[in-house]
Amino acid sequence: MNDTVDKLVVFLAKRDGIDKLVKTFQYVSKLVNYQVEVSNPDIASRAKKWEVAAGLSRKAFRTGRFLTGFNAIRRAPGSSKTFQVLAVLANAGEMVYFFFDHFLWLSRIEVLDPKLARRMSFISAFGESFGYIFFIIADLILIREGVRKQKNILMEKPSDTEEEVKKLRIDRTMRLMGVAANVADLIIAVADIEPNPFCNHAVTLGISGLVSAWAGWYRNWPS
């Protein structure tokens, strides 16, 4: 599959693909709003509406997504006890995040009491940050193991290892993208849990959102 349009069609056919595209819209519009808020209030207002609409759309797209975490826990993933524990903790956090995100969405569009939004946002963000911490730990451990494995391969049989080393490098790159996305999303979650000048600044949120979105583009883009 060498045609870019073919790859884009496949990418956008995935739920994660369309989510990353709309996430890009959401955080680009946040940065635009911040940049022109004083100089051009009309454009800032339009950008803010785009940001809000994109955020609500993403929540709608994620309906039922909590089942992914539930299924991962049910299948008891992991090659060792350590990774099984990390996977359960990470997916449990993500499951809480996506489950309560449903109620956050419904309260934001006023199907449920809008007063519930703040509470649902806190619970959802807490589950999200909890899960991301363990996803990050698992990826860092696997990156370290991959580096060690690559060194051993090159020391023991330096010839005829190009394909194996290439696979390890690709896996490491994907995991680094995952770490980048999870750290960026963790910053966004902390902004909901414990508002502070750094995490809640429009530039911090905008850049974090785009880092997460573009890392997702890279990981989900068809090869």
Q: What is the pLDDT of residues 42-77, one digit of tens each?
A: 999 999 999 999 999 999 999 999 998 888 888 766
- The reported pLDDT for the residue numbered 76 is 65
- Cα 192 to chain centroid distance, Å, stands at 15
Q: How far is residue 32 from each of residues 22, 38, 108, 212, measured CA to CA in Å?
A: 15, 11, 23, 18
User: What are the tens digits of pLDDT across the range 207-219?
Assistant: 999 999 999 999 9
Q: Tokens representing 153?
A: 């391969």
Average pLDDT over residues 84-113: 94
Q: How many CB atoms lie within 10 A of CB 106?
A: 17
* Contact partners, residue 38, CB within 8 Å, separation at least 6: none
Predicted confidence band of residue 154 (pLDDT cuts 50, 70, 90): confident
Amino acid identity of 138? A
Average pLDDT over residues 109-125: 95
- The reported pLDDT for the residue numbered 192 is 93
The region, left, alpha or beta by phi > 0 then psi within -120 to 50, assigned to residue 142 is: alpha
Domain residue ranges of the chain, discontinuous segments joined by +:
4-220
% the chain with pLDDT above 90: 75
The answer to whether the CB of 178 falls within 8 A of the CB of 215 is yes
**75 vs 4: CA distance, rounded Å:** 35
